[in-house]
Amino acid sequence: MSEPAIKSDAQPAVIRPDKETFLAEENPFEAMMERFDHAAQLLSLDPGLYKVLRHPEKQIIVSVPIIRDSGELEVFTGYRVLYNTSRGPAKGGIRFDLNVTLEEVKALAAWMTWKCALVNIPFGGSKGGVVCDPASMSLGELERVTRRYTASIIETLGPDSDVPAPDVNTNERVMAWIMDTYSMHTRHTVTAVVTGKPVEMGGSLGRREATGRGCMFVTREALARVGQSLKGARIVVQGFGNVGSVSADLMAKEGASIVAVSDKSGGLHNPKGLDVPDLIKWVKEHRQLAGYLRAEAVANDALLTLDCDVLVPAATENVITRKNAGQIKAKVICEGANGPTTAAADEILEKKGVFVIPDILANAGGVTVSYFEWVQDRGGYFWDEETVNRRLESIMTRSFAETMAMADKHTVSNRIACYMLAVDRVAAMHRLRGMYA
């Protein structure tokens, strides 16, 4: 990321998408838990385990007082949720945003739990955030918020307990501040307490590109499954931040044609293909796609329904809904963002025969290389970028194959197959460990 603007006893019932409420379509946590419920039903999950897995282990709310540059004392609210740590230390990002809520953080922590289990790395899931407006804060104020928030949740942090990473409006510098604050409290340097750090401080090569690279790997596997090659495929990417731009760049290098991209400022379309390196250079200089003249403008909503082979929603949640799912023409959807497709839209896409690569698989490359970073920090031995990318490809392709095997075995959608794999792995750990009482 660029430098700041850092800015019951009963067996769980299946909640079918056609009975979905308006709340479930608008609330990512409710949408996620619908899929969990469906997976739990198909797995015949023990009612007691169902109760355990449906509730977060720990929810922390802290006050974060700082002195602003003006001398004014201001108090922000911070959250940290550890959803499940049965498989290992909690892993999850920290975001700084005015829209951070406890429900959102809880949903994202649950997502991280299933994502880590799906790709079978030894982490549980967590998430955190501070309710603030980074765009209105100086670098010094952001550092003070970061350090005070870190100190407030320090009892839960640690390489063996809870390992944060960058998220919305946080970056390598914020991770450096967290690492330093934690290290000052422990009186020795602890690089493995966070991931997504600068390489000079124990960060991993390949970490910044990992989520986009993972999207490229699973898109390649999905296209092969539907009888097509990534070379020559027409790709639409919604969202041109880190994930979207890296995905577009890597897919283009594999011979795909990126026919449309978008960001908050609008979309660009060229059916003959866009010059992705030129777009990346433009955005680096102008901070947005708007104003780029070598393509036709297209509205963000219209971009989602363009004729293409692959659609990569890599921006925000709930962009593919019951309202537009029927108009989507892509053969494959690779969910680079968390929760871009609502449960109601899932049903429509399934009936249309669209091959969906669910978010907890598609964007798991980031947490996978975060795992590599954690391993390297703990071992004190660092890998070259080729090794990182090769091991990432191995995990992503293996996880894709395991998901397809589960989907075929149980005749379920790819998304439910992902949840079944993940929930079964977390439940299995609970069965083996037993219940401490």
Q: Burial of 351 by CB count in 10 Å (0-12 exposed, 13-18 middle, 19+ buried)? A: exposed
Catalytic residue among 127, 253, 284, 352: 127
Percent helix, percent strand, percent coil in the chain, to nearest 5: 45, 15, 35
Which token pair is 234? 């027409």
CB-CB contact of 249 with 280 (8 Å): yes
CA 283 to chain centre: 22
Nearest one of 114, 120, 206, 91 to 396, comparing CA atoms: 120
Whether residue 234 contacts residue 309, with contact meaning beta carbons closer than 8 Å, is answered with yes
Report the chain's C-alpha Rg in angstroms.
21
CA–CA distance, 247 with 233 (Å, rounded to integer): 13
Spell out the residues 6+ positions from residue 280 whose beta carbon is closer than 8 angstroms to its own: 245, 249
Looking at this protein, which amino acid is placed at residue 346? D
The token duo for 332 is: 């494959």
Q: Is the dihedral of CA 337, 339, 342, 346 positive or negative?
A: positive
Burial of 304 (0-12, 13-18, 19+ CB in 10 A): buried
Other C-beta atoms within 10 Å of 53: how many? Answer: 23
**In the sheet where 73-84 sits, what is the strand order?**
58-67, 73-84, 124-131, 90-96, 162-166
Tokens representing 414? 């790819």
Residues 6+ apart with CB under 8 A from 84: 53, 56, 57, 90, 110, 113, 124, 125, 426
Token pair listed for 333: 């959807």
Closest CA to 50 of 12, 81, 107: 12
DSSP state of 343: H
From CA 123, how far away is CA 120, in angstroms rounded? 8
Return the ∠ at Cα 315 (arms to 83 and 167), rounded to 5°: 45
Token duo for residue 299: 């509205």
Q: Active-site residue 272, yes or no?
A: no
Tell me the catalytic residues. 127
